[in-house]
Chain A
Amino acid sequence: MNKSLYDYLILLGDSPLILGHRLSELCGHGPNLETDIALSNIALDLFGQVRNWFQYAAEIHGEGKTEDDIAFLRYEHEYRNVILTEQPNKDFAWVIARQFYFDAWHYSLLTQLCESRDERISAIAAKSIKEVTYHRRFSSEWVKRLGDGTEESRARMENAIAHFAMYKGELFEETNVEKEMFASGTGADFKVLKAQFESFTNEVLNEAGLEIPQIDWTQRGGKHGVHSEHLGYILADLQYMQRAYPGMQW
């Protein structure tokens, strides 16, 4: 088995998996029908993308491993999602700020992966970016609308943008696997990733009339399997069925 490639695919799949789960918690609980449907659709797109990454990872792994084993039967320290994605839902501004940072990063990452030397990775990225273009448009439009809205919406949006800024840094911290993948032409250039992220988010925040958070430290650990307390609760929910009834089929 190509261990590095397997680990890399897990890194690519885990963040959308965990964020997709967070968004799915809002299904039926969105602030209004339109945003409820939008967030559920985004969750669905993310799960679809995760299936593509994990199906590939399962093939690389061999020995009869399936996409479901990867999604449902790992322990907490084996998940490699960035900590941003496991943060709980609070109010709508909270959900939008988390999504805005994630989408800006996800979009730039996938743009680069479209050029990956690994044909399967470039195919999955090319498929995903069409969907993520809509996600990024949705979250940045809401940042502008709330930032440029009432005093209340503006205060909440600014607060949420400032809060989630402490999770940004981890998005640009390269693990050894990511360095190796970039060197071989399979992965992304993190310098480009960071520059594109900064320029896009700054532009939207400026347009929204929101302050750009200045922060020189970051929460980290998710990409190495060290998570906040929230992930355990997510996994308890996500894995319940497969743990209670091993091998259960729908």
Chain B
Amino acid sequence: MVEKSMPEAEQRVREILATVKDPEIPVLTVEDMGIIRDIELDGQKVKVKITPTYSGCPAMDEIAADIRKALLAEGYEPEVVSLLSPPWSSLWISAEGRRKMEVYGIAAPLEEVADKRALMGEKRVVKCTHCGSMNTRLVSQFGSTACKALFQCNDCLEPFDYFKCI
């Protein structure tokens, strides 16, 4: 029966997807970002459903193309479909993804209430990715890409990115 071998076959596809990186945060894979919603396999045909992070994120078209390319290279017949609903949430970033993000120098998203306080500049709750100090300030709600805000550390004075809660 086909179904018996499904998990293993899907595992193989997931391993390939784990090689596809987010072009804007290249330490994160598309799996870490939590944008893979579903995988449908039918022989060599594979349908990957992804959810865009931000509507206008220019990386999304590139990510879809990279997924297609990676699967083609392994002999699959890929189709990448974009799903709008439910909308992507920063809660879908994996624990491993959050860890890698912090090491890379981007503070991982806080939960919603704390995020709002941080982005209103009300509370010092975002930790400096350079020195670990909590004495940081919001510079701008919008950062180098749609998903980030810009912060600065009052202790080591270095600027750093914070991944916004969405």
Contacts and interface: CB of A to CB of B under 8 A. Distances in A.
Interface string B54-91: 11111000000000000000000000000011111000
Interface stretch (A33-41, A74-82, A208-216, A233-241): A33-41
Nearest to B147: A41
Is chain A's interface secondary structure helix, strand, loop, or mixed overall? Answer: helix
Given A41-B146, A48-B56, A49-B55, A138 B84 contact: no
B166 A38 contact: no
Contact of B142 (A38, A48, A52, A123): A38
A73 interface: no
Contact of A131 (B54, B143, B144): B54
- Decide if the interface of chain B is mainly helix, strand, loop or mixed: loop
Interface string A99-126: 0000000000000000000011011101
Interface residues of B, number: 24
Interface string A117-147: 0011011101110110010011001000000
A45 interface: yes
Contacts of B141: 38, 134, 137-138
B119 interface: yes
A60 interface: no
A48 B55 contact: yes
Contacts of A130: 87, 166
Interface string A133-177: 010011001000000000000000000000000000000000000
A48 B142 CA distance: 16
14 contacts: A34-B140, A34-B142, A34-B150, A37-B143, A38-B141, A41-B146, A42-B142, A48-B54, A51-B56, A52-B55, A120-B84, A126-B84, A127-B84, A141-B120
Given A52-B84, A123-B85, 19 more contacts: A34-B140, A34-B142, A37-B150, A41-B145, A41-B146, A44-B54, A45-B54, A45-B56, A45-B146, A46-B56, A48-B52, A48-B54, A48-B56, A48-B57, A126-B85, A127-B55, A127-B84, A127-B85, A138-B142
Top-4 shortest CB links A-B: A48-B56, A48-B55, A123-B85, A34-B140
